[in-house]
Structure 1
Amino acid sequence: MPQLDFGNPLMIAQIVWLLIIFGVLYYVLATYALPRVEAVLEDRRRRIEGDLEAAQAAKAEADAAITAHREATSKARAEAQAAIAAAMQSAQLEATQRSEALAARLADQINAAEARITAARDTAMGALRQVSTETTEALLHRLTGQSEQAAVGPAVDRALAARGLG
C-alpha cells in the first residue's frame, strides 16, 4: 500500500504530526468537552431518576385515589340499595293500606248495594204477589162471576213458591 510507505521521509513527519494533533485533541476533549458531556449526562440521569420517583409517587397517589373512589362508590351503592329497599317497603305498605281501604270501601258499597237490591226485590215480590192476587181475582170474577179472596191468596202463594219466587 503506497499510503504506508515508511521509507518516505515525509511519512515520518506526518506520523509525528498525527500524534501531536491527536494528543492535543485528546487533551482538549478530556479537559473541556468530555466533562461537559459527562455533566449533561449526569444531569439527565438525575432528572430521569427524579421523574421516575415522581411518577411512582403519582402512581401510588392515583392508586390510593382509585381505592378511595371504589370504596366511596361501593358505599354509595349500598346506601342507594338501602334507600331503594326502604322506598319499596314504604310503597308496598302504602299500597297495602290503600288496597285495604279500597277493599273496605268496596265491601261497604257492595253491602249497601245488596241491601238495596234485597229491598227492591222484596218490594217487587210484594208488588208481584199483590198484582198476581188482583189479576187472579179479576180473571176469576170475569170467568165465574164470583170472587173468592180467601182461596186466591194461598193459591197465588203456592204458585209463586213453586216457581221459586215466593
Structure 2
Amino acid sequence: MPQIAQLSATYASQIFWVLLVFGFIFFVIGRGMVPKVMQTVEARDKQIADDLMAAEAARKAADAEEEAWRKRENENRARAQAIIASAKGEAAKASESRLVAVHARLDAHLAEAEARIAAARDGAMAEIETVASEAAGDIVARIAGVTVDEAATRAAVKDVLAHG
C-alpha cells in the first residue's frame, strides 16, 4: 500500500515543523517574554507589599498621634474645668461679700426704720396722752363742775395707759 509508505515521510515533515514552531515559541515567548512578565508581576507584588507596609506604618503613626491628641485634649479639658471651678469660687466669694454688705445696709435701714417707728409710737403716745388728759379734764369739768390741774390729769392718764 502506497499510502502507508508515504505516512512516515509526511509525519516526519509535520513533526519537524511542529518541533520547529514549538521551539521558536518556547524560546521567544518562554525565554524572552515570560521572564519580563514575571519580573513585572514580582515588582507589582513588591510595590503592593511596600504600600501595605507604608499604610500600616501610617496607620500606627495616626493612631499614636490621635492618642497624643486625646491626651492633650483631656488635659486641656481638665485645665478648663479647673479654671471654671476657680472662677465659680471667686464669683461665690464676691457675691458673698456683696451679700454681707447688702445685709449690713439692710440691717442699718431696719434699725433706722425701727427707731423712726419707736419715735412715731412715742410721739403718738404723747399725743394720745395729751388728748386724753385734755378730754379727761373737760369731762371732769362738765360732769363734776370742778377744774382739775393739767399735771394731775396727765399723771392719771399716764398711769391708766401704763396699766391698761
TM-score tier after normalising by the smaller chain length: 0.7 to 0.9
Question: Does the alignment pair 1:126 with 2:129?
Answer: no
Instruction: Tell me the TM-score normalized by structure 1.
Output: 0.84
Distance 2:79 2:13 in 1: 94
Structure 2 counterpart of 1:31: 31
Larger deviation: 149-158 or 40-49? Answer: 149-158
What is the correspondence of 1:1-166 to structure 2 with a 5 Å cutoff? 9=7, 13-149=13-149, 151-163=152-164
Distance 2:159 2:5 in 1: 167
Of all paired residues, the percent bearing the same amino acid is 37
**CA separation of 1:7/1:142 partners in 2, compared to 1, >3 Å: closer, same or farther?**
farther
Distance 1:120 1:90 in 2: 44
**CA separation of 1:153/1:13 partners in 2, compared to 1, >3 Å: closer, same or farther?**
same
Residue 20 (structure 1) shift: 3.0
Residue 11 (structure 1) shift: 5.7
Q: Which runs of 5 or more residues in structure 2 are unaligned?
A: none
Q: Deviations over 1:25-59 (max 9, x none)?
A: 12111222101101211210221122122112211
**CA separation of 1:47/1:7 partners in 2, compared to 1, >3 Å: closer, same or farther?**
farther
Distance 2:81 2:6 in 1: 100
Residue 83 (structure 1) shift: 0.2
Distance 2:97 2:5 in 1: 124
**CA separation of 1:145/1:33 partners in 2, compared to 1, >3 Å: closer, same or farther?**
same
Distance 1:8 1:95 in 2: 125
**CA separation of 1:29/1:127 partners in 2, compared to 1, >3 Å: closer, same or farther?**
same
Aligned length: 158
Larger deviation: 24-33 or 76-85? Answer: 24-33
Q: Which amino acid aligns with 2:117?
A: I
Residue 120 (structure 1) shift: 0.9
**CA separation of 1:142/1:23 partners in 2, compared to 1, >3 Å: closer, same or farther?**
same
Residue 94 (structure 1) shift: 0.5
Counterpart secondary structure, 2:42? helix
User: Once superposed, what is the RMSD of the aligned Cα atoms?
Assistant: 2.2
Q: Which amino acid aligns with 1:157?
A: K
Larger deviation: 129-138 or 54-63? Answer: 54-63
The answer on whether the counterparts of 2:129 and 2:158 sit within 8 Å (CA) in structure 1 is: yes
Distance 1:7 1:132 in 2: 175
Larger deviation: 41-50 or 125-134? Answer: 41-50
Q: Deviations over 1:62-102 (max 9, x none)?
A: 02211210111011011011101100110110011011011
